[in-house]
Amino acid sequence: MAETKTTVTPASAKATSHQPKKSSNLFAMLAVPICIVIGVLFYIFVLGNPSNFQGGIKGPNAHPVEEGIGKWFATVYQGGVIVPILISVLLICITMVIERFLYISKAKGKFSGAELVRKVQYHLANKNVDAALAECDKQQGSVGNVLKAGLKKYKEMIVNTELDTDQKILSIKNEIEETTALELPMMEKNLVFLSTIASVATLLGLFGTVLGMIKSFSAMSASGAPDSSKLAMGISEALINTALGIGTSAVAIIMYNFFTTNIDSITYAIDESGFTLTQSFAANHK
Percent share of the chain, pLDDT over 70: 88
Give per-residue pLDDT as tens, 193-226.
999 999 999 999 999 999 999 988 887 776 556 6
pLDDT of residue 2: 40
> Is pLDDT at 91 greater than 50 in this prediction?
yes
Give per-residue pLDDT as tens, 235-254.
888 999 999 999 999 999 99
SS (H, E, C) the chain: CHHHHHHHHHHHHHHHHHHHHHHHHHHHHHHHHHHHHHHHHHHHHHHCCHHHEHHHCCCCCCCECCCCHHHHHHHHHCCCCHHHHHHHHHHHHHHHHHHHHHHHHHHHCCCCHHHHHHHHHHHHHCCCHHHHHHHHHHHCCHHHHHHHHHHHHHHHHHCCCCCCHHHHHHHHHHHHHHHHHHHHHHHHCCHHHHHHHHHHHHHHHHHHHHHHHHHHHHHHCCCCCCCHHHHHHHHHHHHHHHHHHHHHHHHHHHHHHHHHHHHHHHHHHHHHHHHHHHHHHHHHCC
**What CA–CA distance (Å, rounded) separates 16 from 84?**
40
> Is pLDDT at 14 greater than 60 in this prediction?
no
Confidence bin at 99 (pLDDT 50/70/90)? very high
pLDDT of residue 88: 97
SS (H, E, C) 76-139: HHCCCCHHHHHHHHHHHHHHHHHHHHHHHHHHHCCCCHHHHHHHHHHHHHCCCHHHHHHHHHHH
Confidence bin at 73 (pLDDT 50/70/90)? very high
Across the range 20-32, mean pLDDT stands at 76
> Is pLDDT at 12 greater than 70 in this prediction?
no
User: Residue 165 is which amino acid?
Assistant: T
Classify burial at 18, counting beta carbons within 10 Å of its beta carbon; exposed 0-12, middle 13-18, buried 19 or more: exposed
**What CA–CA distance (Å, rounded) separates 191 from 185?**
10
